[in-house]
Structure 1
Amino acid sequence: MSTYAIYGRSSNAAGAWLNETAGGARRQRSQPTLSDEQKATAETNRKHLNTALWHANKIQHRKDVEARIFGNIETLLEFPSANPFTSVDVSRFTSLVRSFQPSDFDNLIEERRIDGKCGYALCSNAPRTESLGTSAAWKLKAKAASDYCSDDCTRKSLYVKTQLNEVPAWERDPAQHPKVVVHLDDRASATRVQPAIATRAVPPRATQNDLALERGDTTSSMRPSQVMTSTVVEHTNTDRATTRPPDAEVASHTAIEGYEPTSGSVVMQPPKMSSVEAVSLEISIAEPSTAMDDEEADSWRDLFSNVSER
C-alpha cells in the first residue's frame, strides 16, 4: 500500500470524527435547558411585545384615519363642481363627511372661509367677510355667521353638523358611521324630479265645498246670501246734547266754576230746603234761647246763615 493511500484513509477518518463532534455540539446548543425563572421572563417579554404591537397598530390606524379625513377636507375645498350643485356633488359630500366629527366639520368650514368660499360645501358664493369686508365682521350677530354667505347656508350647514358622530372615526365600528342627509331644500334642488301627473286648476267653488266638508258644515251654510248682504246703510252722525251749567240755586259749595263733580253717574248735591223750613230757621236764629249766652248764639246764627245761603 502506498504512502498516499494510507494518508488518504487517515484524512477521511479524521474528517468523519470532526463532523461527528461538531454535530453533537450543535445538537447540544439547539436544546438548551432553561430554568423556571428564565421561562417566566420569556413569557413576560412575549406579552409585552404583543401589547406594544397592538398599540402600534392602533396608533397607525388612527394616523391612517386622520390622513383620510384630512384628504376629505382637501377634496371638499373644491366643492361644488358646478353652480348650482348637482346630485353627484350631494352624494359625494354626504359620503365624505360620514367619518367626520363635529370638530372636523368646523375645520372644513374654517378652511373654506380662509380660501374665500362659503363655509357650506355645496355653496360656491363668497362668505360675508369677503362681501362686507373684515372691518364689518363685528356687525354680524354671531361669529359663525361671518363664515357663510347667508343665513340659509348657516342653517343647512348646522343641519348636516348635527348628524355627525361625536365618537372619533378610528374608535368606531363600520356600522357606527351615521347616514348623513342634506337639508330638504338641497334635496329638492338636486333631485329636480317633475311630477308625472300635471296639476290642473281646481274650481274655487269645489275648493270651498271641500273645506266645508272638512269643517263639518252643511251645504246650506255655504250660501253667500247667509254670509253677507249687499244692502248699504248710510250712518249719520247725531249731535250730542250739550250740557249747560247748573243754576245758581242748585250750585253748592262743591261746585267748581259752576259745575258739580260727579261720583260715577250720580251728581252729589246738597238736599234742597223748602221756603217754610228756611223761614223757621231764620226765626229760630233771630230768637235764640235765653239759656244760651251771646257768644254761643252768635256762632249758631252764623252757622244757620251759611246753611240757608247754600
Structure 2
Amino acid sequence: MATAKQPKSILKKATYPATTSSKEDRDREVALYHANLIQQRKDIELNILLSTETLIDYPLAKAPYDASNPSLADATEFKRLLRPFQPSDYDELIHERNINEKCGYTLCPNPRVKDGIGGKYRIIGTNGKAKDFKVVEKEELEKWCSEVCAKRALYVRVQLSESPAWEREAAGSTVNIDLLDEPKPVDGAIVEGLGKMSLDGGTGGKQQDVANLALERGDTGMAAKNGLVDVKVQEKEVHRPAQAPSLDDLSGRLDTMHLTLEGHTPEFGSRRERRHAEELEDDDGPDTDWRM
C-alpha cells in the first residue's frame, strides 16, 4: 500500500543573518554603557559641588543691589547654576552659607541672625491672638536674616525637581526657576543706552538722517532742514455772505439731522442716497408714499 506524500510548502525558508558579535562583545558593550552612565552621574555631581562652592560667595554685586533688587547678572547665573540641583542639594547650599555666617538666601548680602537665648524652639506669629502662632525650631530661624529672605529661599526650593539631573537629561526635561523678587528691568547696559539717546536729533549723528527723511516726505521748508515737519494752519476763505437757517432748509434735512456732526452731514450711506438709488431702480417711477 502506497503511503501518502506530504504536501510541499510554497513558502520561502526564513533566513536569519549570522551574528557576528560574540557574547564577550555584547557583555563589553553593556559594561561600557553602564560605565558611561556612572561617569555622567559623577560629572553632574561634580558640577553641583562646584556650583555650590561658587554660590557660597554670592551675591557678587554690591550696593545698591540687595535681596529685594538683585543684580541681573547675579540672578541669571544663580538660576543657571541651580538647574541640576535637587532640593537636598539646595539644602546643602543653605547649610554651607550658614557655616560662613551668611543668610541662606543666595542673593542676600546680609549675615544670618543669631539668637543667643537658650532653648530649642521659638514661638512666632502671635499677632496679638492666642491661636495665631507657630512653634519653630531655633535652628530654622537662624538660617536667614529675616522672614522675607526665608520666603525667597523657599520659593526657589519648591521649584527644584526631585528627580536627579541625569534622569532629567535622559528625558529631555529642564528646570526653569523664577525668583520671588526678580531684578528690575533697568540695568547698567540699559542705562548706558538711554544716556546715548538724543531727543532733538542734534547729537549722535542723526540730524542729517532726520532731515533726509523730511525731504522724502516732501517737506521743503525751513523746518525740514532741522528734521521737523512743516505744518501750516490756514483758515478757510468763504466768499458768500452768511445766511441764517430757515425752516424750509431744515425740512429737507430732518431725516439726516441725527447724522450731523458740528454742522457737517456725511452723504455716504445716508437715507437720502438710498432712497435716490431705489427711485432709479424702480421702473414705475419714484415712490412718494413716504412724503407727508
Greater fraction helix:
1
Task: Look at both structures and tell me which one has the larger radius of gyration over its CA atoms.
Answer: 1
The TM-score, its normalising length taken from structure 2, stands at 0.47
The TM-score, its normalising length taken from structure 1, stands at 0.45
Greater relative contact order structure (CA < 8 Å, 6+ sep):
2
